[in-house]
Amino acid sequence: MTVMEAINKVHLQICGISKRFGGLQALEDISIDIQKNTIHGIIGPNGAGKTTLFNIITGQIRPDQGTIKLDGQTLPYLKPNQLVPLGITRTFQNIRLFKEMSVMENVLIGQHVHTPTPILSIILNGSKARYWEEVAKNEAENALKFVGLENKADEMVKNLSYGQQRLVEFARALAAKPKIILLDEPAAGMNPTEKANLLRLVLLLKEKGYTIVLIEHDMKVVMNICQTITVLDHGKKIAEGQPEMIRKHPEVIKAYLGKGV
């Protein structure tokens, strides 16, 4: 591989990100290259700074220092919605769904930024929105089909199991047609069958050409499906590399002491 080819493969670049919350250094000078079309795992003990990193990438939080580059271009500080058209979407560690709304409505909300009319007019069937409603609905239906919830489209979210609600979040992130999808502990709270299904879907996404950044506590999962793993501990990057290397890394073992890496 030439140097230029290597650079072109970097999809998302986290460059020297630092973030302090009062007296707590949540992230300290973190740099990570996420290669195109890989599953990149981010692991680390509770409070390591994993979610904060996602919050910075997606504009929920501003870093004190550092930049995010997409395909080599430095992104200005954007609001979360402005990232969706650039091809970055995420799911949340704590499910963020409108429980009293239908599955379809929740998934539609994820992609309203792609359509020129406000989401409410789509939901309320506003006449001007008919064309975009069709486009958005089509994407939402595809996403629901992908996660296997097509027959739950009209069900209220609160009537779904927890595992199914996690899949609705996943579908919502997918319906926005991202290139990069950030998954913050997507399998948390799922039973083993649901988890295996979710992992199958993540692997399918990779086959389809997506770039996936995965925060996950289950070491077996991370070791099995990620090509590269970054380990954070107390806001610092303590290791990065292929699963085999991470598994044996002394710093990683120390950080997880007694947690059975």
Ligand X SMILES: Nc1ncnc2c1ncn2[C@@H]1O[C@H](COP(=O)(O)OP(=O)(O)OP(=O)(O)O)[C@@H](O)[C@H]1O
- Contacting residues toward ligand X, per CB under 6 A: 21, 24, 26, 44, 46-52, 93
Q: Tell which residue, 91, 66, 113, 68, has the closest CA to residue 168.
A: 91
Q: Please identify, using beta-carbon distances, which residue of 47 and 80 lies nearer to ligand X.
A: 47
Residues between 80 and 99 that touch Mg ion (CB under 5 A): 93
Q: Please identify, using beta-carbon distances, which residue of 95 and 123 lies nearer to ligand X.
A: 95
Asked if 51 touches Mg ion (CB under 5 A), the answer is yes
Q: Tell which residue, 97, 103, 93, 96, has the closest CA to residue 188.
A: 93
Report, in Å, the least distance between residue 245 CB and ligand X.
21
- Counted residue by residue, the chain has a size of 261
Q: What does 58 interact with, of ligand X, Mg ion, none (CB < 5 to 8 A by kind)? A: none
Could you identify the residue written with the tokens 């506003």? 126
Asked if 55 touches Mg ion (CB under 5 A), the answer is no
Q: What DSSP character marks residue 233?
A: E
Q: What does 46 interact with, of ligand X, Mg ion, none (CB < 5 to 8 A by kind)? A: ligand X
Residues 211 and 12: their CA atoms lie apart, in Å, by: 9
Q: Please identify, using beta-carbon distances, which residue of 94 and 193 lies nearer to ligand X.
A: 94
Residues 214 and 134: their CA atoms lie apart, in Å, by: 31
Query: Where does this chain bind Mg ion (CB under 5 A)?
Result: 50-51, 93
